[in-house]
Amino acid sequence: MADKVIGAEGIIIHDNKIVLGMQKRKRWYTLKNGEQAGIVKTLGGAVEKQDNNSTRNALIRELLEEIRGINIEDIYIDEVPIFSKNIKMKDLNPYEPDSELEMEADFYIVKIDKKCKLVPNDLPMLMEIPIEEFLNINLSESMSIKSMEEYMLNKNMKTRLPSNYAIMAPIEVKSFLRSRGDEER
């Protein structure tokens, strides 16, 4: 039986860019060549006791923990998820092809006030990628971190970033952003 987690993830939009965060160093991987790799993903996490079984509350708590410089009044989160997904880590994480971990996640659209300056709090780094460019990136594929340096926001300077990374997000995230783009035209 696989481990299963219930959680929430945010498709975070800030100034028409999607915001992603790198997982903490303890979740990095050592590759066969000795280099390190990290996962960059939508922000959010598991539902905890203080969230009162609410994925929306879990997402708000996680955002306030992961991003410094924002307040709850700077965040707009839809009342209901835009989709729910049973995520199998081995399908999305190229560094863990044998993982049995699953997460049932509610995905919410989150808008952060345009004037806020986003800074990673307990994450090594945030990325802010223009939506059109994000739609052309291959998900779940190992890449050089250098290829994304222009999108890094206020890297946490006390953490040396790994050489490689992969963006872990279900394809439904791209589908939602594509449909949103059509609505705005």
How crowded is the C-beta side of 150, counted as CA atoms within 13 Å? 5
**CATH assignment at residue 92:** 3.90.79.10
Q: How many domains does the chain have?
A: 1
- Distance separating the N- and C-terminal Cα atoms of the chain: 46
pLDDT block averages, 10 residues each, the chain of length 185: 79 95 93 95 95 96 93 94 94 93 94 92 93 94 92 74 94 92 51
CA torsion 47→74→15→56, rounded to 10°? 20
What integer pLDDT is reported at residue 1 of this predicted model? 43
What integer pLDDT is reported at residue 185 of this predicted model? 37
Residue 25: CB partners within 8 Å, gap ≥ 6?
Answer: 38, 124, 159
Domain limits at 103? Answer: 4-184
